[in-house]
Structure 1
Amino acid sequence: MSVTYALEITREFAAPRDLVFKAWTEPERLAKWWGPKGFTLEVKQLDLRPGGMFLGSQRSPEGHVMWGKFVYQEITPPEKLVYIQSFSDEEGNTIRAPFSPVWPLEILNDLTLIEHEGKTTVTFKGGPVNASPEELQAFEGMKPMVQEGFKGTFDQLDAYLAEQR
């Protein structure tokens, strides 16, 4: 598997690592914060094991629905989660992104959680898997938008974690 880590985001959360890990791995928690602001997430499946899959749909405020999946590669509770993320249909078959014919089919995401004095630092690295030059270029071109999207998603995670304290 050829991966180019093109994106790295580090963020500290005022919550213990165990809770942050659960927020990423338990369907009822993930549904409370994952995705762009204003979108809702419906979790159809979350099979947390190497080779297992998360499958869910996001609905925009206008009612547009997009499906996506994570295929888990490595799970080390509560410190590490590695998964391949793709757009999908309702059955979990990988499809092209609805917004670009050259968006990479698969993105490898590597999430590391480190706790210090009750706070958790999350390092999120992501990049295309086995991507063509055109797919790499598309990812690079949209990297600022992707980073901004994850900032909003992480803001929602921060708000969710604050509610849990």
Structure 2
Amino acid sequence: MTSAPSIPPAAKEHELVITRLFKAPRELVFKAWTEPQHLVRWPGPKGFTATSDKFDCSPGGFYRTCLHAPDGTDHWVRGTYLTVEPPARLVFTHAWEGDDGNPGPETIVTVTFKDEDGQTLMHFHQGVFTTLASRDGHGEGWSQSFDRLEAYLTEVSP
């Protein structure tokens, strides 16, 4: 019998895990993550807006999005979709662009969606971060984004 490889504790602490239950059907929550008309409505912390520069949500497809902060600064993020399994799972890379336009450290994001009696249990995993401060900053940003996603799903749910 083969056992699963263990992940060193240091690696685990450099990962972000968030689980949320949304009062919306799984298909709608998945679309909110994978269709541009939805995806520009909720990402980013409170007060931010988003625009999509490039968006190809298919395996190997590239995305580039700008989060516009209330203070007028722009934050560009980019990545590649690795796995797209509607309506159950997404895997993509995530890297912020520096002022020079080059990507910074890259993480892998995995999001799964499970039907829970007409609601959606979303499990979000991102890692491995280079610092705990980066992990914690992303945790705060994603948590606020998911609050915004919850509000948006309430607006668009049937």
Same fold (TM over 0.5): yes
Unaligned runs of 5+ in 1: 97-104, 129-134
| Contact kept? 1:49, 1:72, Cα under 8 Å | yes
Unaligned runs of 5+ in 2: 1-10
For residue 78 of structure 1, the aligned residue among 77, 87, 96 is 87
Partner amino acid, structure 2, of 1:95: P
5 Å-filtered alignment, 1:9-158, equals 9-88=18-97, 94-96=102-104, 105-128=105-128, 136=130, 138=131, 140-158=132-150
Q: 1:94 to 1:52 in 2, by over 3 A?
A: farther
* C-alpha RMSD of the superposition: 1.8
Name the structure 1 match of 2:8.
none
Q: Percent identity?
A: 36
CA distance in 2, matches of 1:37, 1:107: 23
Deviation at residue 41 of structure 1 after TM alignment: 0.4
| Contact kept? 1:68, 1:89, Cα under 8 Å | no
CA distance in 2, matches of 1:54, 1:153: 18
Equivalent pairs counted in the alignment come to: 144
Deviation at residue 58 of structure 1 after TM alignment: 1.1
Name the structure 2 match of 1:7.
16
Q: Which runs of 4+ in 1 moved over 3 A?
A: none
Structure 1 length as normaliser, TM-score? 0.81
Bigger mean CA deviation after superposition, 118-127 or 44-53: 44-53
1:1-57 deviations in Å (ceiling 9; x for gaps): xxx551111000000000000000011101000111111100111101111011111
Structure 2 length as normaliser, TM-score? 0.84
Deviation at residue 148 of structure 1 after TM alignment: 2.1
CA distance in 2, matches of 1:142, 1:86: 12
